[in-house]
Amino acid sequence: MSATIHHPSIIHLAPLRASARRQVVFFTAVVMLTGLATWVLADILWRGGIRKLEIAILIVFVPLFGMVALGFIQAVCGFLILLRRKDPFSISRTLPEKEPDPGELPATAIVIPIYNEDVSRVYEGVRMIYLDLVRAGYAKRFDFFILSDSNNPNKWIEEEVAWIDLCKQVKGFGRIFYRKRMVNLNRKSGNVSDFLRRWGRKYRYMVVLDADSLMKAETLARMVQLMELNPRAGIIQTVPSPIQAQTFFARLMQFSGTLYGPIFQAGLNYWQAACGNFWGHNAIIRCAPFMEHCSLPTLTGGAGNARFMSHDYVEAALMRRANFEVWMAYELGGSYENLPPTPLDHACRDRRWCRGNLQHAWMLTAQGLNPINRLHLLMGIFSYAASPLWLLFLVLGTLQGWFEATGPGPRFDSDVGLSSFLDVGGGRLALLLFAIAVTLLTLPKVLAVLLVLRDRKRRKEFGGGVRVMIGCVLEHALSVLLAPVQMIFNSRFVVEILMGRDVPWNPQQRDAAGGVDWEGIIKAYAPHTGIGVTWAVLAWRVSPALFWWLSPVTFGLMVSIPLCVVLSMPGLGRRLRALSLFVIPAETNPPSVVSHLEKNLESIHHRLTPSPWLGEQYGMTQVVIDPYINAAHCSLLRDKQAPGAAAHKHLQELADTLLAKGPAALNRKEQMVLLRNAQAVTDLHERVWCLPEAKLSHWWRMAMRDYNTLQDRPVTALYR
C-alpha cells in the first residue's frame, strides 16, 4: 500500500487552475473560428441588404458551425498532445510503473446490469474477465454481480442456468453472484442503485460494465490503483475500444472509432480535465460518494415519477457537484465493447439515447453544477438537436436557392464586402466557406491517419499504410452518404420525443446473428428515399446549380436502402477482414481476453442446439422439465411463501393453461407471474412428470422427448 500511497495524485501534477487556462484557450479558439466563418457567411448573404430568410440561415449556421469548430479544435489539441506524448492532465500518468500487488487492492465489485441480453455473450464476457483475473492473481480482490432486470421468462431461466454452469466451470461460487430484480424500478440506474443499497457498503469501488463489456485484468487492477492514488476521483471512465464487428457497418464504425478516436479523446481530456463525463459502463466509481450524492432526482421535480433515461451524464454532474473529480483514463487501454451491427440497430440505439439526452434539458439550470458539466449536458442535447437544425439549414438554403433562381438577378456577384477585397464573387466565396467546413470535418481524420502512419507498430496493426489510407477514404465516402440518413432519423426522433411519444426500453442488438433484415430496412428507409428523390427533383427544377449543391445530401438519401443492405451484410464484413481492410489492432494483435472470447463464441455455433420451436421457449422448458433447474430456480427465488387463496387460484389457472396448450399460450407477463412463485414452479414440475402422456399437450410430449435427447450433452453456459 505504501508504495502507491506516496505517489503524487493528478491534482499535484496538474492543478485545476491550469485546466481552467486550457479551457479558456480551447473555447477562445472555437469562438474565433466560428466567428470568422459567420462573418464570411454574413458577408456572402449581405449584398445590398439582408432578407429575413438570410438572417434565419445565419442564425442556424452559428451553432452548427460551432459544433464543427469544436470538434476540429478538439482534434487538433488531441493531435498535438499525442505528438508530444506527454499530457500533464492524463490521470494514467499518476500510475507507478509496477503493477499493484493483489494485497494492495481493496475489495471491488464488478457490476453487470443486464436486460434480456444474449446470455452467451454476457457470460462468456464474465468468464473471460474472471479467468484473466485468476491468471493475473487479482481474482480474490473482485466480486462479480450479474444484476438482471430481464422480463423475458426464457432469458431469466437461461441466465440462472448459465450462472450456475459458469460458477461450476470456473469455481466461481462466492465470487460471481447473480441477482434478479422482481420490479424493474428506474431501469439500469435503478438496478445499480438497488445493488448499492444492498451491498454498496461492502465495497470501496465498483466497476460498472455493460452486457457486452470486456476488460483485461491489468486494466481493472490499474483502475483500482488509480482510485487509490487519487482520493478525490469519484469516477474514472476508460475508453472502450470497439471489438467483434462482423458486418460491413460495424467494421466501418470499429475502424473509424479506433483510428480517429484517440485524438478526439486526448482533445476531450484537454479541455474537460477533472470535469469529465461518465458513459455508463467500463468505468470505476467510488461507492460512498456515489451513494451519497448521485442518486438521480425525479425528472419532473416531484410532480411525477419520470426518471432520466441517460443517467450517466447526470451522475457525473452530481459527482462533480459534490466536489469529486471525474476523469477519463484515455491512455489506459484494455477496455472493450461491442457496436450495433447495422445502421438500423444504430438508429434504434440513437432513438433511446436521443430521448435520454433531450431529458438533460431539465438539468441545465440546476444549481451548483460545474459549467463544464452543463456544457456536457448541452452538447449531449445538441448532438441530436443538431440534426433538425441541419435539416432546417438545408431547407432554408433550398428556399434561398429558389428565391435566387426566380428573383430579379443574381445578388451574389455584387462587388461588396469581402468580395471587393479578395476580388472574388459571392459564389466563389460560398465555395470557399464550403471548402473550409469540409476541411474542418476532414482534417481531424487526416491528422489521425498521420499519427498512425508515423508509428510503425500501429501502422502494421491497422493492416499497413496503404490499407489505412484506402480504409480512410472509403470510410469518409460512406460517412458522407450516411450522414444525411442519420440526420433524417434524428430529426424524426427529436420531433417525436418533443411531441410526447414514448420510447420503449428495448434490449440492444449487439451482434449480426440474424443476417440482413430486408423488410425492416425497406420499411425504415423508404421515407428517406422518398425525401431524397423529391428533394433532388425539386432542386433540379429550381436550378441545376442548386441540385449539385444539394447532391451529397440527396444522393445519400436516395441510395439509403441499398446502402444499408450492403452495410448490414456480415459476409461482406468477413471478406473485408480477410482482405485486411478495416482491421484494427484488437484483431491483428488481439489481447488474450478478446481472442478467447471470439473463439468461444464461435464454438457456440458448432454446438447442438434445440429445435427452433423448442429454442423459443427453452428457458420455460428447462424450468418445468429439468429436476435440477427447477430446484435451482426455486432456491434462487427469495419469496418462498405459499400464495394466498386468490393468488393460488390464478396460478392454478395459469399452470393448467401452460400444461394444456404449451408455453406459447401464456404471454410474457403470465409466464413471469408463474416463475416468480416457488410453489407454483415446483407444482408445475411435478405435474408435467405425473400427468399421463394422454393428458399432456402435444407440445410438452415433444418437449420432453427433445429435451432429454439434448440432455446427454454437456450443459454449459455456451448455448443459445
Partner 1 sequence: MQRDMDLLLDTLSLPKAGAPELAEWDEAYGTVDNYFRACRVSSRLHRARLTAAVVHGAIRRRAAEAPTGEPLSSVAIKEARRLMDVWLSGLLPQRPDERPYSQAEGFVALYLCDGAVRWPHAFLNPEEAPPGFLDTLRSRLVKAGPDLEISSMVPRPLDRGIFPELADSARATFDRIPILRTLLFWTLFAAALVALFWYTRQ
Q: What is the contact surface with partner 1 in residues (CB under 8 A)?
A: 52-53, 143, 145, 164, 167-168, 173-174, 177-179, 193, 196-202, 291-293, 295-298, 300-301, 303-304, 318, 361-368, 499-500, 625-632, 634-636, 678, 682, 686, 689-693, 704, 707-708, 711-712
User: Cβ(51)–Cβ(411) under 8 Å?
Assistant: no
Residue 398 CB, shortest distance to partner 1, in Å, is: 14
Residue 51 CB, shortest distance to partner 1, in Å, is: 8
Residue 70 CB, shortest distance to partner 1, in Å, is: 24
Give whichever of 95 and 363 is closer to partner 1, judged by the CB atom: 363
Residue 693, all three cell numbers = 402422456
Give whichever of 140 and 523 is closer to partner 1, judged by the CB atom: 140
Give whichever of 161 and 221 is closer to partner 1, judged by the CB atom: 161
3-class secondary-structure state, position 665 = helix
Give whichever of 105 and 629 is closer to partner 1, judged by the CB atom: 629
Residue 703 CB, shortest distance to partner 1, in Å, is: 11
- CA Rg, the chain, in Å? 28
3-class secondary-structure state, position 339 = coil
Integer Cα distance of 316 and 324 in angstroms: 9
Buried b (16+ CB within 10 A) or exposed e, 675-703: bbbbebbebbbebbeeeeeeebbebbeeb
Residue 605 CB, shortest distance to partner 1, in Å, is: 25
Residue 168 CB, shortest distance to partner 1, in Å, is: 6
Give whichever of 304 and 504 is closer to partner 1, judged by the CB atom: 304
Give whichever of 37 and 105 is closer to partner 1, judged by the CB atom: 105
Helix (H) or strand (E) holding 241, with range, is: strand 241-242
3-class secondary-structure state, position 328 = strand
User: Cβ(111)–Cβ(192) under 8 Å?
Assistant: yes
Residue 665 CB, shortest distance to partner 1, in Å, is: 23
Give whichever of 16 and 495 is closer to partner 1, judged by the CB atom: 495
Instruction: List phi, psi (to 5°) of 599.
Output: -65, -45
Instruction: List phi, psi (to 5°) of 25.
Output: -60, -45
Integer Cα distance of 463 and 452 in angstroms: 11
Query: How many C-beta atoms surround the C-beta of residue 156 within 10 A?
Result: 25
Say which residue the cell 424500478 belongs to: 185
Residue 206 CB, shortest distance to partner 1, in Å, is: 13
* HSE-up (13 A, CA, CB side) for residue 517: 14
Residue 367 CB, shortest distance to partner 1, in Å, is: 4
The one-character DSSP state at 662 is -
Integer Cα distance of 122 and 211 in angstroms: 5
Give whichever of 109 and 584 is closer to partner 1, judged by the CB atom: 109
Residue 547 CB, shortest distance to partner 1, in Å, is: 23
Residue 489 CB, shortest distance to partner 1, in Å, is: 22
Give whichever of 534 and 711 is closer to partner 1, judged by the CB atom: 711
Give whichever of 309 and 440 is closer to partner 1, judged by the CB atom: 309
* HSE-up (13 A, CA, CB side) for residue 625: 23
Distances (CA, A) of 273 to 19, 21, 30, 276, 323: 6, 11, 18, 6, 14
Query: How many C-beta atoms surround the C-beta of residue 383 within 10 A?
Result: 15
Give whichever of 443 and 691 is closer to partner 1, judged by the CB atom: 691
Give whichever of 53 and 424 is closer to partner 1, judged by the CB atom: 53
User: Cβ(558)–Cβ(533) under 8 Å?
Assistant: yes
Residue 363 CB, shortest distance to partner 1, in Å, is: 7
C-alpha dihedral, 649 to 652 to 653 to 659, nearest 10°: 180
Integer Cα distance of 359 and 384 in angstroms: 12
Give whichever of 358 and 563 is closer to partner 1, judged by the CB atom: 358
Give whichever of 80 and 631 is closer to partner 1, judged by the CB atom: 631
Residue 499 CB, shortest distance to partner 1, in Å, is: 8
Residue 133 CB, shortest distance to partner 1, in Å, is: 17
Give whichever of 159 and 511 is closer to partner 1, judged by the CB atom: 159
108 DSSP β-pair partners: 142, 205
Q: Which amino acid is at 368?
A: G
How is the beta sheet containing 233-238 ordered, strand by strand?
A: 176-180, 142-148, 108-114, 205-208, 283-286, 233-238, 325-329
113 DSSP β-pair partners: 147
Give whichever of 143 and 475 is closer to partner 1, judged by the CB atom: 143
User: Cβ(445)–Cβ(474) under 8 Å?
Assistant: no
Residue 183 CB, shortest distance to partner 1, in Å, is: 16
Say which residue the cell 405425473 belongs to: 690
Say which residue the cell 489539441 belongs to: 77
Alpha-helix runs per DSSP H in 93-147 = 119-136
User: Cβ(264)–Cβ(357) under 8 Å?
Assistant: no
114 class by beta-carbon count within 10 Å (0-12 exposed, 13-18 middle, 19+ buried): buried
Residue 629 CB, shortest distance to partner 1, in Å, is: 8
How does strand 283-286 pair with strand 233-238? antiparallel
